[in-house]
Amino acid sequence: MNEYRLPLSALGLFVAIAALPAPALSDEGHDHAPGAEQEMLEQMRRTHAGHQHDHDFEAMEAVSAEDMQRVMTLMMDIGLALPPMDSERGRETFLAKGCVACHSVNGIGGAVGPSLDAAEMPAPMNAFEFAARMLRGAAAMAQMQDDLLGAAVELNGQELADLIAFAHDEAEQRELTTDQIPDRYRDLILQ
């Protein structure tokens, strides 16, 4: 019986979600922002714009926005789709969360941890590989964050997705300047 548990519960989840009235599928309790689904569609369009083969975007446009949001929410929840990854928001998170105190990008930032230059990242981007690298460094990193910042940095899924996008986007990394670094982190770097 055991081997049937997972498929059945996944099916049960799908049926339960399909049966829910749309308002019950609000973004409450989710990491991704409202409108994330629209953003993801836009991103797909941009990413696939230059491809020779055709994607049937017209078919997606025929689906009502509400239904599309329900499908996308379901896909993200069960791990079939990634949240939209925004490198500009990632730059802001890199600054706000204090990654910049220990990691540099284009020579801007601290040198306690390895630099995170997009040019040095493996191509094509592999978000899971990046997360695994972070996890490998996590014990040392959390200890140092405790010592330097007073607490370990906490991230939600959306913030991690945006940070990974930033780590792989050379153009967005060029937008990072020293004067964007919050004072509390800049002081740490100069110590």
Contacting positions for ligand HEC (CB under 6 A): 97-99, 101-103, 112-114, 130, 133-134, 137, 140-141, 144-145, 148-149, 153, 155, 163
Contact assessment for residue 126 and residue 82, using Cβ atoms and an 8 Å cutoff: no
Nearest distance, CB of residue 123 and ligand HEC, angstroms: 16
Nearest distance, CB of residue 3 and ligand HEC, angstroms: 36
Q: Which residue, among 54, 123, 46, has the nearest Cα to 85 in the 3D structure?
A: 46
Pick 36 or 161: Cβ nearer ligand HEC = 161
Q: Which residue, among 167, 172, 155, has the nearest Cα to 88 in the 3D structure?
A: 172
Q: Give Cα separations from 100 to 28, 68, 92, 106, 114 (angstroms).
A: 31, 37, 10, 11, 11
Pick 40 or 141: Cβ nearer ligand HEC = 141
Could you give the CA distance from residue 62 to residue 191 in angstroms, rounded to a whole number? Answer: 58
Pick 45 or 184: Cβ nearer ligand HEC = 184
Pick 17 or 153: Cβ nearer ligand HEC = 153
Pick 37 or 162: Cβ nearer ligand HEC = 162
Nearest distance, CB of residue 171 and ligand HEC, angstroms: 19
Largest CA distance in the chain: 61
Output the six-digit token pair for 49.
């714009």
Nearest distance, CB of residue 58 and ligand HEC, angstroms: 38
Pick 25 or 112: Cβ nearer ligand HEC = 112
Contact assessment for residue 88 and residue 35, using Cβ atoms and an 8 Å cutoff: no
Residue 188 CB contacts under 8 Å (≥ 6 apart), including other chains: 101, 110, 148, 149
Nearest distance, CB of residue 168 and ligand HEC, angstroms: 11
Nearest distance, CB of residue 66 and ligand HEC, angstroms: 35
Count CA atoms within 13 Å of residue 113 on its CB side: 24
